[in-house]
Amino acid sequence: MSLVYLDNAATSYPKPPEVRLAILDAMLEKGGNPGRSSHKMARAAADAVFDGRETIASFFGGQAENLVFTQNATHALNFAIKGLIPPNAHVLLSDIEHNAVLRPIVSLGERGVTYDFYRSLGRHERDSDSVLSSIKQKLTPHTAAVIACHRSNVLPIELPLEAIGDFCEKHKLLFLVDASQSAGSTPIDIEACRISALCAPGHKGLLGPRGSGFVLFGKSLGETLPRPLIEGGSGSDSTSLFMPDLLPERLEAGTLPVEAIAGLAAGVKYIRRYGIDTIAYRERTLTTLLKRHLASVPGVRLYLPERQIGSTVLFNLNGRSPWEVASFLDQQDICLRAGLHCAPLAHRLSGTTASGALRASVGCFTTEDDIRALVLAIKKMACSA
């Protein structure tokens, strides 16, 4: 039996062959240090980095020089949150935020930053009015930023970026977006959504390798420059004691991971060629199929099954702990994730904080056979209960 991988919300697998080749090519042919030396190998590495910047920035409607490479979305969110939110500010974040947002915000409490949550769950799937009304209710004269988890990593909830972006522009608020689960699965235009900072991992929907991610700053940031969290060599202005006052070098201290960047760029090119709408349609169809089949298994409890957003399915099997089920599935060569998924807020919404839950997440390369294999294994376990 071949491996069934349904943990794409954690990291996507497999990667397209083009991604693997790009990584190998970067390692073999572009072995210099980008932006430091000026010999052939260093120039080739620098060109690979710039190609990555242009490819990814244009994919999200942004500018290459406003794209800062990071190791993952968590680093990107830390750069955006700690680099942009001023001391003593008030911040609004959604009630589905991942710990990658929640923990940095809580840590800013040391600098007098306070926060409050707005409601993400409307009466229907794309209920922007109820989200905006919740934001308005929580707005204070000290509110400086709104943070939105574009798509939950646990529940089928997606926040209306355009509506929130318009609101932020009107109220002169920073708008920070965590696109960890949506980048590569749904189109995002940083300028149309008035996003100040768009943060995403490279290794999930964008099909790049682990160790890749970015924060893309939008025009709405204006003259504001993010404060660097890490200082060091930048390849320019070496006699200055401070980081350069221009992006992206301001936030990119140290040697960049050229292999990861080349792989990420290849992933984005793959999505462009294949078509993001085609990928979204495929993921949605398979997710719906999975929900329908799981719902027919006695003892399976699905959370928010009526919603058709995203590519994750949260469920539990009566009388079994999610860890027990995940362990059983692992023995059947089926990979998915049990627990709280680093998202205690979303689990509070689904009422699964104490028990945890199982998350199956569909990806670009998931097949109907994968779905059937999971459902069959769950049926087997349900029958043996």
Partner 1 sequence: MMLRENPSLKENISKERIAAPLLMAGKAARRKYDMSKCIITVPSMTFAQKARNALTANQIPSTVTRLTPEQAEKGCGWGVEIDCRHLEHSLHVLNTSNIPTRRVRRREGP
- Binding residues (CB under 8 A) for partner 1: these are 34-35, 37-38, 43, 46-47, 50, 53-54, 64-65, 234-240, 244, 246, 248-249
Q: Of 110 and 223, which has the nearer Cβ to partner 1?
A: 223
**Runs of H (alpha helix) within 15-160:** 17-29, 40-59, 73-84, 99-107, 128-138
CB of residue 65 to partner 1, shortest distance in Å: 5
CB of residue 37 to partner 1, shortest distance in Å: 8
φ/ψ (deg, to 5) at 215:
-125, 130
Take residue 68 and report the two structure tokens written for it. Answer: 């800062």
Angle at 316 between CA 313 and CA 321, to 5 degrees: 135
CB 149 within 8 A of CB 175: no
Q: Of 239 and 384, which has the nearer Cβ to partner 1?
A: 239
Q: Give the separation between CA 159 and CA 134, rounded to whole angstroms.
A: 12
CB of residue 237 to partner 1, shortest distance in Å: 4
CB of residue 35 to partner 1, shortest distance in Å: 4
Q: β-strands 67-70, 213-217: how paired?
A: antiparallel
CB 90 within 8 A of CB 116: yes
Q: β-strands 90-94, 300-302: how paired?
A: unpaired
Residue type for 74, please? T
Q: Of 54 and 95, which has the nearer Cβ to partner 1?
A: 54
CB of residue 264 to partner 1, shortest distance in Å: 17
Q: Of 236 and 318, which has the nearer Cβ to partner 1?
A: 236
CB of residue 235 to partner 1, shortest distance in Å: 6
Q: Of 233 and 305, which has the nearer Cβ to partner 1?
A: 233
CB of residue 236 to partner 1, shortest distance in Å: 5
Q: Of 252 and 283, which has the nearer Cβ to partner 1?
A: 252
Q: Of 246 and 295, which has the nearer Cβ to partner 1?
A: 246
Q: Of 50 and 274, which has the nearer Cβ to partner 1?
A: 50
Which residues pair with residue 94 across a beta bridge?
Answer: 118
CB of residue 228 to partner 1, shortest distance in Å: 14
Q: Of 67 and 149, which has the nearer Cβ to partner 1?
A: 67
Take residue 265 and report the two structure tokens written for it. Answer: 């760029």
CB of residue 110 to partner 1, shortest distance in Å: 32
Q: Residue holding tokens 């204070």? A: 140
Q: Of 237 and 333, which has the nearer Cβ to partner 1?
A: 237
Q: Residue holding tokens 């943060």? A: 199
CB of residue 245 to partner 1, shortest distance in Å: 8
- Strands of the chain (E only): list them: 4-5, 67-70, 90-94, 114-118, 143-149, 174-178, 197-201, 213-217, 300-302, 312-317, 334-335, 337-339, 357-361
Burial class (CB in 10 A: 0-12, 13-18, 19+), 119: middle
Burial class (CB in 10 A: 0-12, 13-18, 19+), 109: exposed
Q: Give the separation between CA 153 and CA 291, rounded to whole angstroms.
A: 16
